[in-house]
Amino acid sequence: MTLRILLGALPLAIFLAAAGFFLWGLDPERDPSEIPSALIGNPAPDFELGPIPGSQTPGLSRADLAGEGPVLVNVFASWCVPCRAEHGVLTELADEGVRLVGIDYKDKPEDALAYLAELGNPYERIGADLSGRVGIEWGISGVPETFVLDREGRVVYRHVGPIMAPEVERRIRPALERAAR
C-alpha cells in the first residue's frame, strides 16, 4: 500500500520539479546574457593570433589589450547571424571612440573578409582564431560574446549574445566606465 502511494505521487513530484525549472526560466529578473565568467576581475588569457589571412587589419594578442583606456573584445564570425545584428551597434561604438578589437572565431578567411567588406570593419585589430583554441581559453559559449577590459587588461564584464542598442546604455557603457577607473 505504501509503495502504491509513493508510485502514485511520483508523477506529481516530477511535474512540480519540471514546473519549477520552467518558472525559473521565465523569471523576468533573470538575464540569460549574464552568464558568470571565471575571467571577471582577472587578466585576459595569454594568446597571440595572426591577422585574418589577406586582411590589412593587424592580428591580436594579449599585449594589445593593455595600455590606453578600456577596450571591447568582440568574438564574432561571418557565419553568425546574431553577429550581423550587432555589427551596426559595434560600429557606432567604435565611431564614438570606443576601442574595439575582434577575435574572428572558427571562420574561413575568405568568408570573414567578405563579411567585413560588406558590413564595414570597425575593429582596430582582429585575430583569426581558426582552430577555436583562443575562444576556449576565453571561455566562450558561442558567438557573439563581448568582453570589457580595463587598461591593465583585466576582464571587467562579459556579455553573451548580440549587443543591441538598449544593452549599450544598460550594460556596456557602465562596464566601460568601471573599466576606465
C-alpha cell at 72: 571591447
- 9-59 pLDDT, tens per residue? 667 767 766 666 666 555 555 445 455 667 899 999 999 999 999 999 999
Helix axes 81-95, 109-119, angle to 10 degrees: 50
Three-state secondary structure call for residue 64: helix
| C-alpha span between 93 and 116 (Å, rounded) | 16
C-alpha cell at 2: 505504501
Q: What is the pTM of this model?
A: 0.81
Contact of 179 with 73, CB cutoff 8 Å: no
First to last CA, the chain: 68
- 135-179 pLDDT, tens per residue? 999 999 999 999 999 999 999 999 999 999 999 999 999 999 999
- Which residues have C-beta within 8 Å of that of residue 34, sequence separation ≥ 6? 160
